[in-house]
Amino acid sequence: MAAAARSGWSFALLFALAGAAWGQAVEAGWTSLFDGKSLEGWKETPFAGRGKVEVKDGAIILGSGYLTGVTYTGKFPESGYEIRFEAARLKGHDFFAGITFPVGKSFCTWINGGWGGSVVGLSNLDGEDASENDTSTSRDFENGRWYAFHLVVTKESIRAWIDGRQVIGADIRGRRVDLRFGEIDLSAPLGFASYSTVAGLRKIEYRRLGVE
């Protein structure tokens, strides 16, 4: 009986170690873009009428302004990557997690909470913004709650999830992908922006895809 118990314990230990190794393998390749303490690697986006940008309690805080944001200063791939982050709308009623990102030689913005607080979508596809094209959906966002965002970009598609639920699955082959007219181009190649809200950003990470 003791031998059987030891055998069972050994199997359980090996199973646990294998599970831990698998978990580490799954997480392998993710690179942090924010140290939780400073704006190292980022710069304040020079939007006109912007709010204050600061780091507080492990998060980048975008103060309320016309547009307020941060732009990444390092190198970033044009395609074949995924990026994940957490964001919260702390005050206000408009978009708080607008991420501008490369799509080949162009750029696009994933809007979350736009047009009065609920629109989710890509700006722009074929000249239409997030409130007009076929990626546009509506979602209620609760102020003060942190949401998990996940974006995957390849040469063929743009896919996105909020809290593990897919909200965008756009085939971009043969479509025109670009930015909405205005100052948002200051966020390129990679940047975050909020509009007339106080927003928080944290746990910003990315990794390259093995196969596009």
The predicted pLDDT at position 27 comes to 59
The predicted pLDDT at position 34 comes to 98
Pair 124, 190 in one domain: yes
Could you tell me the two tokens for 45? 């986006």
Pair 108, 119 in one domain: yes
Pair 5, 103 in one domain: no
Pair 80, 184 in one domain: yes
* Cα 27 from chain centroid (whole Å): 17
Distances 138 to 11, 62, 74, 118, 126 between C-alpha atoms, Å: 48, 23, 33, 5, 20
Pair 153, 199 in one domain: yes
Give per-residue pLDDT as tens, 17-58. Answer: 434 433 443 457 999 999 999 999 999 999 999 999 999 999
Residue 98's domain spans which residues? 33-208
Confidence of residue 185 (pLDDT cuts 50, 70, 90): very high
- What CATH number did the domain enclosing 76 receive? 2.60.120.560
**Does 12 have pLDDT greater than 80?**
no
Say what the pTM is. 0.86
Pair 19, 97 in one domain: no
Pair 69, 135 in one domain: yes
Closest CA to 109 of 117, 118, 100: 100
Confidence of residue 4 (pLDDT cuts 50, 70, 90): very low
Pair 7, 68 in one domain: no
Residue type at 148 in one-letter notation = A
pLDDT mean over 76-104: 97
For residues 10 and 153, the model is more confident at 153
Q: How many domains does the chain have?
A: 2
For residue 161, what are the contacts with CB-CB under 8 A and spacing of at least 6?
148, 149, 150, 151, 167
Residue type at 60 in one-letter notation = I
Pair 126, 186 in one domain: yes
Closest CA to 122 of 96, 70, 160: 160
Give per-residue pLDDT as tens, 98-151. Answer: 999 999 999 999 999 999 999 999 999 999 999 999 999 999 999 999 999 999
DSSP 64-117: SSSSEEEEE-S---SSSEEEEEEEEEEEESS---EEEEEETTEEEEEEEEETTT
Summary mean pLDDT of the chain: 89
Could you tell me the two tokens for 200? 């928080």
Pair 25, 56 in one domain: no
Pair 14, 115 in one domain: no
Pair 1, 104 in one domain: no
Confidence of residue 210 (pLDDT cuts 50, 70, 90): confident
The predicted pLDDT at position 21 comes to 39
* Pairing label, strands 42-44, 53-56: unpaired
Confidence of residue 211 (pLDDT cuts 50, 70, 90): low
The predicted pLDDT at position 67 comes to 97
**Does 86 have pLDDT greater than 80?**
yes
For residue 21, what are the contacts with CB-CB under 8 A and spacing of at least 6?
none
